[in-house]
Amino acid sequence: MSKTIFGFSKRSKSEKIDWIVSTYLPNNKNAKSILLQYWNTDEKLQQLHDEFIENTITNYYLPLGIAPNFLINGITYTIPMAIEESSVVAAASKAAKFWLDRGGFKTEVISTIKIGQVHFKYFGNPETLKAYFTSIKQQLLKDAKPITANMEKRGGGILDIELRDKTIDIDGYYQLHASFETLDAMGANFINSCLEQFAKTFKNEALNFDAFSSDEKHIEIIMSILSNYVPECLVRAEVNCPVEALAENSKLSGSTFAKKFVEAVKIAEIEPYRAVTHNKGIMNGIDAVVLATGNDFRAVEAGVHAYAARHGSYSSLSHAEVKDGIFKFWLEIPLALGTVGGLTGLHPLVKLALEMLGKPNAKELMQIVAVAGLAQNFAALRSLTTTGIQEGHMKMHLMNILNQFEATNSEKQHLVERFKTETVTHSAVVEALEKLRH
């Protein structure tokens, strides 16, 4: 059977499913029923989901959990988290509870500047190009006014436009490097619309600039696009307490725990192999909240990891120290988030998640998300430097193993009780389940 198909997007959802099942899943008798069972019975809601993307055939669910007891700048939050990985929500909740009576989390937004660029080629005199840019800059801003008017009314808009010479890297390559304030919107569509207008004006007006020779009047626009690298859209989250306060519920003294914890962070600061896993733990918390609140976790991931390598070597996003008897643990990360536009106004669960958080503005959401990442990192490092990561993680993973082998409720109850005092490993759980069944 041919796997080539034309006009697929014009087919109904049922026809698309039939084609997928017959072409790629002919030996799976349950394939169609599995796809159909995840359709929402509310037709209006299902249509809303279908129209988020193209060629939808069903819904793909992730669990939505909550992590309570987060004290952030004196306000208590319960944070929604959409994620499939065991122990993430439990770890975040445990860290939140640990810091609840130690002053909680302190946060601040350092800056909220976002970046977009027009990439173009020009092979004439660089000084003439600079003169042209200086002469045309106000026209660039003026021509974008129809796009920026509403944003400016709310206090945002275009902050600046610079001409950047990148010819040392690529022959003839220059940029219009623009900075923006988009307030509570993530702002991708706004930024891209402004950039495309800049490109149009910049190219067309070059034809009328007398200082250009006939050859120099030709400016080749390569592309106009926002950047997901936002090193000036920064938020800071921190916890601190006296060293002796760390001893509670720990198998180590406060000073010993603090020493090991700080050393663990230092290792992540200088060792990329460790830093990647260290930062992945931070992103467990961050991505889960970003996804739950309808934001673009891929953009956040890309920007955060680029920031982690900004000094030329990939390093830890978080830092720790002990000074004058005070333990301090913090991170500063770039987060371009929005609370209006996109899925924030469409997805019913996103609306609920934002309402659960008190309908935060973009700056407030930045702080909440940063705290989720710091909490997750603290919980992971605390486990690593005390009991080891697997003890807690595998206990949370126990139910996944039992479900994999289709354990009954009574079998689950028996084995959950048993493994409260035994080390959870895949082989140990399988062996115990087999013995129970025989």
Radius of gyration, alpha carbons of the chain: 27
Nearest one of 289, 347, 345, 235 to 78, comparing CA atoms: 289
Kindly state whether residues 157 and 239 are assigned to the same domain.
no
State the total domains in the chain: 4
Kindly state whether residues 257 and 198 are assigned to the same domain.
no
- Overall pTM > 0.95: no
Identify whether 1 is part of a domain.
no
Q: Of these residues, 280, 319, 328, 412, which one is catalytic?
A: 280
By CB neighbour count within 10 A (0-12 exposed, 13-18 middle, 19+ buried), where does 273 fall?
Answer: exposed
pLDDT of residue 168: 98
φ/ψ of 69, rounded to 5, equals 70, 30
Kindly state whether residues 94 and 140 are assigned to the same domain.
no
296 annotated active-site: yes
Quote the domain boundaries for residue 22. Answer: 8-50
Mean pLDDT by 10 residues, the chain (438 residues): 85 94 94 94 92 94 96 98 94 97 97 98 97 98 97 97 98 98 94 98 96 92 98 98 83 89 98 98 98 97 98 98 98 97 89 97 98 97 78 61 77 74 73 76
Kindly state whether residues 377 and 261 are assigned to the same domain.
yes
260 annotated active-site: no
pLDDT of residue 435: 78
pLDDT of residue 1: 55
Q: What is the C-alpha to C-alpha distance for residues 373 and 389, in angstroms, rounded to an integer? A: 17
pLDDT of residue 405: 74
Which CATH number fits the domain that encloses residue 124? Answer: 3.30.70.420
Identify whether 249 is part of a domain.
yes
pLDDT of residue 389: 55
Identify whether 143 is part of a domain.
yes
Kindly state whether residues 153 and 290 are assigned to the same domain.
no
Which CATH number fits the domain that encloses residue 285? Answer: 3.90.770.10
85 annotated active-site: yes
Interstrand relation of 173-181 and 220-226 (parallel, antiparallel or unpaired) = unpaired
Q: Of these residues, 85, 205, 269, 411, which one is catalytic?
A: 85
Domain boundary among 210, 226, 242: 226
Q: Of these residues, 94, 393, 395, 397, which one is catalytic?
A: 393
Domain boundary among 226, 250, 269: 226
pLDDT of residue 249: 57
How open is the CA angle 359-364-367, to the nearest 5 degrees? 135
Which residues does 238 contact at the CB level (< 8 Å), separation at least 6? 105, 106, 107, 328, 329, 330, 331, 374
Identify whether 424 is part of a domain.
yes
Interstrand relation of 114-121 and 220-226 (parallel, antiparallel or unpaired) = antiparallel
Q: Of these residues, 181, 184, 296, 364, which one is catalytic?
A: 296
Q: What is the C-alpha to C-alpha distance for residues 352 and 360, in angstroms, rounded to an integer? A: 12
Asked if 263 and 271 touch (Cβ cutoff 8 Å), the reply is no
301 annotated active-site: no
pLDDT of residue 248: 67
DSSP state of 73: T
